[in-house]
């Protein structure tokens, strides 16, 4: 039996400002770094053992993963497929904007220059297929809120509404068994 743990990156200034980060490379705040360090300590305290940490190439996820790796001793490597969805023209706009909420329900839409939910799901599902094929391994994926939705939908049935509404807090840890 294997496990996948999902960790969302620490806080960014755009999280504080309620802006969509998407594929824009936004750094952690001071609190975000502290959250990542605390998450590493929590992983140790809870006795979570993993073979590897895979992380998004965006600096907010990379820094979070490297803090966790340094504290836990779990090796970490960049995984390009964990990059957050590109929300095109919605990048840097309010997360709770009416137009964005409507657009999120359209899984084929590319957000005028971005990436569709279907394309995002394809790359994350392909990664998860590879990870779960090694059924005796445990991975920690450090990525983004948009990625958390796809991971959740890989392991659990979700309606479109549940998918669009799903989200996790900064540095939350989710556990999936396969």
What residues act catalytically? 9, 84
157 φ, ψ (degrees, to nearest 5): -65, 140
What CA–CA distance (Å, rounded) separates 72 from 111?
Answer: 38
**Of 5, 128, 164, which Cα lies nearest the Cα of 72?**
5
Query: Taken in order 121, 86, 163, 16, is the CA torsion positive or negative?
Result: positive
What CA–CA distance (Å, rounded) separates 159 from 25?
Answer: 30
Cβ contacts of 166 within 8 Å, gap of 6 or more: 148, 149, 152, 153, 158
């Amino acid at each position: 039996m294997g496990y996948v743990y999902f960790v969302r990156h620490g806080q960014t200034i755009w999280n504080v400002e309620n802006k969509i980060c998407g594929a824009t490379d936004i750094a952690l705040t001071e609190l975000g770094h502290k959250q990542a360090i605390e998450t590493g300590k929590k992983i140790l305290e809870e006795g979570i053992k993993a073979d590897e940490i895979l992380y998004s190439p965006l600096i907010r996820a990379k820094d979070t993963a490297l803090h966790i790796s340094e504290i836990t001793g779990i090796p970490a490597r960049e995984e390009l497929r964990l990059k957050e969805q590109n929300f095109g023209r919605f990048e840097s706009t309010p997360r709770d904007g009416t137009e964005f909420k409507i657009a999120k329900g359209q899984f084929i839409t590319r957000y005028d220059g971005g990436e569709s939910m279907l394309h995002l799901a394809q790359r994350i599902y392909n990664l998860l297929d590879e990870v779960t094929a090694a059924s005796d391994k445990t991975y920690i994926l450090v990525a983004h809120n948009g990625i958390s939705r796809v991971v959740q939908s890989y392991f659990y049935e979700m309606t479109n509404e549940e998918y669009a509404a799903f989200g996790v807090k900064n540095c939350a840890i989710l556990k999936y068994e396969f």
